[in-house]
Amino acid sequence: MTTVFEALESNVRGYCRYWPTVFTTARGAWLRDEAGRDYLDFFAGAGALNYGHNNPVLKAALLHYLAEDGVTHALDMSTTAKRDLLETLRDVVLVPRGLDYKVQFPGPTGTNAVEAALKLARKVTGRIPIVHFTNAFHGMTLGALAVTGNAAKRAGAGVPLPHGYPLPYDGCLGGVDDLLWLERAVDDVSSGLDRPAAVIVETVQGEGGVNLARPSWLRRLAEICRARGILLIVDDVQMGCGRTGPFFSFESAGITPDIVTLSKSIGGYGLPMALVLMRPDLDQWAPGEHNGTFRGNNAAFVTARVALRRYWSDDGLATATAAKGERVRRALTELAERFDGLSTRGRGLVHGLVFDDASRAGKVSRAAFEAGLLVETSGARDEVVKLLPPLTVGEDELDHGLGLLAGAVEVVCAG
Ligand code: PMP
């Protein structure tokens, strides 16, 4: 029988095809479907649910706010919810890290934050090119697509995507000093590269296949940019909010980007919200120059604030993430040792199981679903099974999920 999803929902739908069931409720690291079957969720809303589904602390704050008729929609009007969030962001996140940023609320998606960051970089520098990296993913709107690697996604634009300048991401050329060209090209007036406004980079490429940039590579990139007046944008939409351990994914590299984009888990509850953080002197926007009806998702401001207070007032979550990540790394390394054509890489609680035979990753993801585990694939050829459990996942749940994954790998690779 044809479902209403098949009959009515556009062909563009994606995840419902990979996970062909109808979900009803969710709690913590678990999703339940309408047949009453439970699935362990190692996808976590593609990184939007770092604190789990319906996190009880955030839910209580949200329900209270709604019960009191708190403002839910306010564009960028001032509200108590926004004031409380800004103060919390300053006191819990920025000041303790010695970070001096102004805060912009763009429309509530990652791609909107990226658009704002690119626009601002071009406005401030008066330059046009943006350097980006192979396998990068920055979003689906035209500016963000122009700095995204994936050919199929780029083709979807239907118009030329100019003014991006792609360079190899760390490790892409297998040990070659891949930043040398950036350095040379910017300094050489005859290189053909007009001086870029900015470089945009993910410290770990989530959609691109869990590719990790080394801290030393990031530091060198930051130094090249700094010395030449090129702005460094770190897109922390997926890897921020503790995914790699620390709140910002760039902290461990010891770099301070000029602009940072955040979305996904910053709202805390899976509620849409995005932020652009910028060096104060870069805040050269005219009022309303970049706007959007849903800049003021105040319900998300409430859950964002409570999440920051609850999880980032000390280093408990970051420490736990490192320990859980180590558990994942050990389990995946064991798997990679057992089966040919399999390797693993990751940081914090983002890990990839990389298959030489790309088709196996999709098969493993499907077998995992059959066994009750949600894991998606990523990478240029969808060759990587990407693990993104909620950071709040219990150790037992983690072990259970890793066991289900091992079973799925066995089914696919031992057969
Ligand atoms: N940047 C990065 C690094 C992302 O991973 C994503 C989403 N996967 C985006 C930007 C775009 O975010 P959104 O889908 O909310 O527009």
Q: Which residues does residue 346 pair with via DSSP β-bridges, in sequence order? A: 351
Q: Where in the chain is the domain with CATH 3.40.640.10?
A: 59-312
Percentage, residues of the chain above pLDDT 70: 100
> 177 pLDDT exceeds 90?
no
- Region 136-159: what's the mean pLDDT? 97
pLDDT of residue 267: 98
What's the CA gap between 393 and 166, in Å, rounded? 36
Check residue 214 and report its DSSP letter: -
For the 59-312 domain, the top CATH level (class) is alpha beta
pLDDT digits 0-9 by tens, 358-369:
999 999 999 999
The minimum-distance atom of ligand 1 relative to the CA of 206 is 5
Q: Which of 132, 137, 271 to mutate to test the pocket of ligand 1 (most atoms within 8 A of CB)?
A: 137
114 lines ligand 1 (CB under 6 A): yes
For 256-286, b/e burial (b = at least 16 CB within 10 A) is bbbbbbbbbbbbbbbbbbbbbbbbeebeebe
Which element (helix H / strand E) includes 345? strand 342-347
Q: Which CATH superfamily is domain 4-55+315-413 in?
A: Aspartate Aminotransferase, domain 1 (3.90.1150.10)
pLDDT digits (tens, 9 = 90+) for 125-146: 999 999 999 999 999 999 999 9
Q: What is the amino acid identity at position 179? A: L
In whole angstroms, what is the distance from residue 147 CA to residue 310 CA? 35
CA distance 262 to 203: 13
46 lines ligand 1 (CB under 6 A): yes
Whole-number Å distance between alpha carbons of 344 and 349? 13
Residue 238, ligand 1, Cβ within 6 A: yes
Task: Give distance in angstroms: CA of 166 to centre of ligand 1.
Answer: 18
Q: Dump pLDDT digits (tens) for 7-64.
A: 999 999 999 999 999 999 999 999 999 999 999 999 999 999 999 999 999 999 999 9
Q: Ligand 1, closest atom to CA 109? A: 15
pTM: 0.98
Which atom of ligand 1 is nearest to 114's Cα? 10
* 93 vs 404: CA distance, rounded Å: 36
What average pLDDT does the chain have?
Answer: 97
Distance CA 307, CA 88 (A): 10
Report the candidate in 284, 285, 225 with the shortest Cα–Cα distance to residue 256: 225
Span(s) in the chain for CATH 3.90.1150.10: 4-55+315-413
Strands (E), 184-266: 198-201, 204-205, 211-212, 231-235, 259-262
- The helix/strand/coil state of 131 is strand
Ligand 1 pocket, 81 CB below 6 A? no
Torsion of CA 212, 208, 5, 40, to 10 degrees: -20
**Given this model, what pLDDT does residue 324 score?**
98
Ligand 1 mean position, distance from CA 111 (Å):
6
